[in-house]
Every structure is written in C-alpha cells, then in structure tokens.
Structure 1
Amino acid sequence: MGNREDILKAVRKSLEGREKVAYPAIPSFEKPGVDLKALFEQNLKLAAVDFYDIDSIEEAQKIMKDKLPAAKVICSSTPEWQGNKDITAVEHPKDLNDVDLGIFRAEFGVAEMGMVWVTEKSLKVNAIGFLSQHVAVLLDPSEITENMHTAYQRNGLLDVNYGCFVMGPSATADIGAYLVRGAQGARSLTLFFLKNGNITT
C-alpha cells in the first residue's frame, strides 16, 4: 500500500467524471394536527416533571417557594429570575455544588420526548443544570418542536460549544427495575411555560 498522498490521488482519480449525487432527503416524520404543547405535557408527566402555565416570574417564584421552603441558595442564569447567588461570579463549576435551586431558560422543547435543549448560552455555567439539588426551567410555549428530526433541523442548533437535551430529573434503575430519582443529578425538575420577554424588575 502506498503512502497517504498516493491513496488520496487514487481516490481522486477514481472519482473523475462521476456524476455527483445529492444526499437522500430525510423526512421529518411530522404528523398532521398534532397539539405540540399537549404532547409535550404528556411526555413531561412520564419524565416526572411538574409543569405550570404562568403569566409572570412572581408566580413561578411563589410556586417554588411553596415546593421548596427550605431552599436557601438560589442561582439563576436568566435575568428574568433573580437568585441570591450570582452566577457571573462563579469561577469554577464546582462552586455550584451548594445550590438548592438552579434556574435557567431552555432554548426549545421537543414534544415527542418531553425534553428541552440547553447550551452554554442559556446555562452560563453548564454545571447549574446538574449540580443543583432542584431545577426550575422556563420555556416559551411557542418554542416546542415535534420530534428529534425537526429539532435537528433548527437553525443554529450546533453553532455552540456545548449543548444537551435535558429530560426530567436524574433517574437510575438497577437490574431489578427499582427506580431512584435524584441519585446522580437534580432531584426534581419543574418547568414553567412563560413567553420570552416577560422580564420584570
């Protein structure tokens, strides 16, 4: 076998004169008449997510205060919801290991899976979604896509250094199918449907 350049030269020669063929089209598998929010909510329930339709951040704050009365350290990566731990002052991800409630706005949701897409843009410090004891997520209800095929067609999806889909609180099960939630990450995830731009001071 020849060296690298010989191999590449042979490949180029074999391709000369060949007609270029377009990649096959991948369908999006969308179904007509799907209520995206209703489907999303159905799958949120399966993922053990509590969700609420709200009109203001104050509503969300009251709900979380009632759910987590003992929460002391609250850290938010969105200016809509102020916490008492400043995420811009975090120097190392491990500095978030004392957070009782972490808050961020998801960029969009996937109805088929009941999950949300987040990146370093929405999290600010990626660890907020995983070291926080409990997580509260804001989502614009108009930003729900039907399935993974339509999700990957969204503009700019991969124009980030870090991004991941988050689906419910942490959960793990042993071979006996005994399910434990919160063993390796957030113990609960609460999602609030709130349109973008509802920033109050």
Structure 2
Amino acid sequence: MSSRDDILGAVRSAKPGLDAPAPTVPNYDDNYPQERAGLVDLFAERLTMMGGSWHALGDGQSIEDAVQQALAEKLGKPFADAVIASNVQEVAGNRTLTNSDDPATVHDVDIAVLRARFGVAETGSVAFTEAELTVNAIAYLAQHLVVLIDPAEIVTNLHRAYQRDDFVSANYTVFHTGPSATADIEGVLVRGAQGVRSLTVIPVSANPA
C-alpha cells in the first residue's frame, strides 16, 4: 500500500458520521428588477460596463444589417472579405462549422455569430454550451463575437443561472462577460489579447411570433 493510500485511508476512517444537508443558499436578487424590461436594461448596462456592446434592432432593421452596423468601424475590412462563421439561421455565414472540425482551423474567422443559451443581468454575461458553439474554440479565436439572445432568457444573477438545467443537460457550460481584455502594470487596457476583440449582443427572440 502506498503512502497516498495510507493517508486517504486515515482520512476516510476519521470522517465524522454526519448526515448534514447542504445549506439553503438565497438567490440574493430581492433588489434586482423583477420586471422583464428591468432585467434587459440591467443586462445591457452591465454588458456595456464590461466592454461589450448592446445593439437593439432598429425599426425594420434586419439582423444581418445590425451586424454590419455594429462592426462597421471595428472590422477593418469590407464585409465582403470577412470570414463569417454563423451558427444561427438568422445570419448567413461563409464558413460552416462541424463537430469534427479541428479547433485550430477557425483561427482565421473574423466574425462568429452564435445564440446564447441564456444571459445573466447581474454580470452582463452570456452562456454557451457545446450545442451553441459546435467548435468550442470559435468563441475565443474569432476576432469579433456577435451573440443573439432571447430577452426572455435573461436571469437576474449567477445564483439563478446555476439553478437552470443547462448544467445537467450539457457536457459543459461557459460564461462570456465582455470581450477579451488585459492591462499591464501601467494600466493600459488592451482588447483582444487572449480572445475576441469585441462582443456585440443583439436581442432577438428565439420564438418570433
């Protein structure tokens, strides 16, 4: 028997015979807006605070037009020349993603368009599972990330988020809060150093009437 086995055996034998239930954790959202409009406004505020962009559709504006408008000054090239990987039906891309793709093959993607599983108003975060990403690296290697979110799927805080069944039904769930950012000792903020350079969220119902 190894020393490791000896140590673990001693720990197990000394374990108290308690049957203590897990504590009840409050949701901590009594002071958060309970109306849906309030959650959307709070989400947009916190998203912007973390460096992301909230882009509500204008009257009669298509989602593709909204993507172009949101990234017009950020892309640095004509949209006709951009590599766009879209996992949503609302936006046509020119790069198809499949489950068998090597993650490194998405290194040249300019714009990734995904739909978030849900959002968190407290932090302005969007959540993805493997179903939304297809290739898990796409949300990190793309230059710009555009996210469609159903306003009805915005929860108040992370406590509410972890009560969802997404963490049971999916292999993994990841949160994205704003674009990639880092700052050196002098406080110079750099966007996109370790991930996407911009994150734009567009509110679009998953079940349009």
Give the TM-score, by structure 2 length. Answer: 0.81
Distance 2:125 2:60 in 1: 21
Check whether the contact 1:169–1:182 (CA below 8 A) recurs between aligned residues. Answer: yes
Mapping of 1:1-201 within 5 angstroms? 7=10, 10-11=13-14, 15=17, 20-32=19-31, 34=33, 35-54=38-57, 59-66=62-69, 67=72, 68=75, 70-71=78-79, 72-88=82-98, 91-198=101-208
- CA gap of 1:58–1:134, structure 2 versus 1, over 3 A, is same
Check whether the contact 2:55–2:66 (CA below 8 A) recurs between aligned residues. Answer: no
1:156 to partner: Cα distance = 3.1
Alignment coverage as a number of residue pairs = 195
Q: Deviations over 1:59-111 (max 9, x none)?
A: 22112223246242110122332201111286211111111110100011111
RMSD: 2.9
Distance 1:130 1:82 in 2: 20
1:172 to partner: Cα distance = 0.5
Check whether the contact 2:127–2:174 (CA below 8 A) recurs between aligned residues. Answer: yes
Distance 2:60 2:118 in 1: 18
Distance 1:95 1:57 in 2: 36
Give unmatched runs, 5+ long, in structure 1.
none
Give the TM-score, by structure 1 length. Answer: 0.84
Give unmatched runs, 5+ long, in structure 2.
none
What SS does the aligned partner of 2:126 have? strand
Check whether the contact 2:99–2:134 (CA below 8 A) recurs between aligned residues. Answer: no
1:21 to partner: Cα distance = 2.7
